[in-house]
Structure 1
Amino acid sequence: MSVLAEETSWPREVLDRDYGARGSVTAEVFEAAMGDYRSRSKEMRDHATHLDVVYDEQSGQTIDIYGTGGEARPVFVFIHGGYWRMLSKHDSAFMAAMLAKQGIATAVVDYRLAPEASLDEIVREVRAAIGFLWKNGRSFGIDPERIYVGGSSAGGHLTGTVLSGGWHAGEGVPEDVIKGALPISGLFHLAPISKSFVQDWIRLDEAAIARLSPAANLPGVGCPIVVAFADGEPDGFRRQSTEYDRLWRDAGFASELMEIPGRNHFDVLLDLASEDTILSKALVRLING
């Protein structure tokens, strides 16, 4: 039994601590990171090439696209975090300029939030975004054969759900539609989450845990991934990333586990705004390599 399976028998207060990202930093550090997310993304929004593109008629959810022009470019699809109930694409575009310099487009995804939307619906929407880009990407300057995906925290979980197997036929995309991925501080086993404070709004039953846990639904066709986390992470996020990297490699797929020094659960993501960081270099290498 893995330690993540054992976690479900741990006391609630231990799980709340180990998955309490907000509690791992001061209020000032958290608010500063949120402010940076929004202000840096607003700066990028002025340079977007396509805003508010509806990718899913059923939900009306949209994506913003940055850094296209000329020949079709590879795209990094970013999925925001916020424990499935916070944030939006307006907080999530700060990597666009860095990637544009490397000839890489960015697509930032909005999805409906919990508890109004179930996690099943959130996952469906994010997968629909991938399907939309594969079918329509060329109209926006995107090469559908070079789709890469990443996200932080809950966005790392959603990254895992588009890496998972079993959904591609429903969206009319090939099993290898994703060519590489960067889940950051992700959640891949949902059983421990369902025993923590997050259950108050995510409301998972056993069937949903099995269906929506990326670690339990590895694909038949895997792509190279970089699994990253901050050295200041709460212990639960560290365990989740380490276990997902192991499972990916055990399945015969390429994975690199990367601990980012001097960063916490929130500011680690801001490293993607600069071309000189370990994290941004790993992402560019993943896409261009």
Structure 2
Amino acid sequence: MAVGAPATAGAQGFLRPADINALPSKPADARIAYGADSLQFGELRLPRGTGPFAVAIVIHGGCWVHGYASAQNAAALADALRDAGVATWNVEYRRRDNPGGGWPGTFLDVAAAADALRAIARQYPLDLTRVVAVGHSAGGHLGLWLAARRKIAAGSPLAARNPLPLAGVVALGGPGDLRDFDSYGDAMCGEGTIPRLLGGTPAEYPDRWHDASPSSFLPLGVPQVMLAGESDRIMPRPKLEAWATAARAAGDRVEVIVVPKAAHHEVMSPRSVTWPSVRDAVLRLAKVERPDDGRESHPRRMEPLSR
């Protein structure tokens, strides 16, 4: 079962992955490969204006497995954020059941997609001092991991010499602690989700579990917004608050936002009750002023998120 897609979701009136996939979106301005595999690409969308534009790296979820979600699942959100004044880089990546995915491929793909923005910025007007990761569910975990990866030890397969810095992370129903998620996530994702992603248990591969979990690297050193619907089973309020408590204790700035009358997938729909909260969180971290008239606009800087 897809992460955050319990069998009762539709019956309760909440959105399902198929509903998100069916949302309309305008075509991307460019589809750019960051590797040789057919799944190593991203969709770039640019706002109106001359730039340079802040960038949201949009990362879809789906239990880290193929078949539950793809870049299409995040296209409507990426399109709406573009219309709000932020360039979006909606990335596809290999999941654990794709050839080359899992450990370490899934992580290396997302890292390569982020770092590819340096080359992309030589052709398009992007402001790489204002790059925010926006990830949903499993993609929320990967967005937090992007912020953490600069701390990974040099001997790890996931180590990076010069990772692209982030200005912040918006995790939409995304877990930051893989050991904790392993204790309850099988009910939503299927048996052994995290061991299958990492190739074994914590006892078998303690270094993998350490390096793959953002919680290992607190403080992340960038502001974070942990946002979910009040009926989200993947990241219910206690899980959001537990992450925020640990991150704040380590010195991070974290905001928790719980949206009423929403579950796990509403956060991906610009037509849902969650959209103003999602949009404003991204614009705030990216230091972009929200346009008052609802149209595309040239972005202007805002003050950073307060603790």
Indicate the TM-score class for this superposition, using the shorter chain for normalisation. Answer: 0.7 to 0.9
Deviation at 1:143, TM superposition (A): 1.7
| d(CA) in 2 for partners of 1:245, 1:71 | 33
The equivalent of 1:49 in structure 2 is 29
Q: Is the 8 A contact 2:14 2:263 kept in 1?
A: no
Deviation at 1:87, TM superposition (A): 1.1
Query: In structure 2, which of residues 159, 162, 172 is the aligned counterpart of residue 173 of structure 1?
Result: 162
Matches within 5 A, 1:179-194: 179-194=167-182
Q: Is the 8 A contact 1:74 1:144 kept in 2?
A: yes
| d(CA) in 1 for partners of 2:168, 2:76 | 20
Superposed CA deviations along residues 79-106 of structure 1, whole A, max 9, x for unmatched, are 0001111311122121234323332111
Q: Is the 8 A contact 1:272 1:280 kept in 2?
A: no
Query: 63-72 or 107-116: which moved more?
Result: 63-72
Q: Is the 8 A contact 2:232 2:264 kept in 1?
A: yes
2:84 partner letter: Q
Of all paired residues, the percent bearing the same amino acid is 22
SS of the residue 2:171 aligns to? strand
**Number of residue equivalences:** 266
Deviation at 1:279, TM superposition (A): 2.4
The equivalent of 1:66 in structure 2 is 45
2:171 partner letter: P
TM-score, normalised via structure 1 length: 0.80
SS of the residue 1:139 aligns to? coil
Unaligned runs of 5+ in 1: 1-15
The equivalent of 1:267 in structure 2 is 266
Deviation at 1:24, TM superposition (A): 6.5
Q: Is the 8 A contact 1:24 1:234 kept in 2?
A: no
Deviation at 1:72, TM superposition (A): 2.1
Deviation at 1:198, TM superposition (A): 4.2
2:254 partner letter: S
The equivalent of 2:276 in structure 1 is 277
Superposed CA deviations along residues 213-271 of structure 1, whole A, max 9, x for unmatched, are 1111225x611111111100127544432222122211222111111111001123214
Matches within 5 A, 1:108-257: 108-116=90-98, 117-164=101-148, 165-167=150-152, 170-173=159-162, 177-195=165-183, 196=186, 197-199=190-192, 201-202=196-197, 203-206=199-202, 207=206, 208-219=208-219, 222-234=221-233, 237-257=236-256
1:162 partner letter: L
The equivalent of 2:57 in structure 1 is 77
| d(CA) in 2 for partners of 1:231, 1:273 | 14
Superposed CA deviations along residues 55-88 of structure 1, whole A, max 9, x for unmatched, are 1347860000012562221111110001111311
Is 2:8 the counterpart of 1:25?
yes
After the TM superposition, list the runs of 4 or more consecutive aligned residues in structure 1 that deviate by more than 6 angstroms.
272-276
| d(CA) in 2 for partners of 1:274, 1:261 | 8
Q: CA 1:237 to 1:111, structure 2 compared with 1: closer, same or farther past 3 Å?
A: farther
Deviation at 1:162, TM superposition (A): 0.4
| d(CA) in 2 for partners of 1:263, 1:55 | 34
TM-score, normalised via structure 2 length: 0.75
Deviation at 1:273, TM superposition (A): 7.4
RMSD, matched Cα? 3.0
Query: In structure 2, which of residues 66, 80, 87 is the aligned counterpart of residue 98 of structure 1?
Result: 80
SS of the residue 1:74 aligns to? strand
SS of the residue 1:138 aligns to? coil
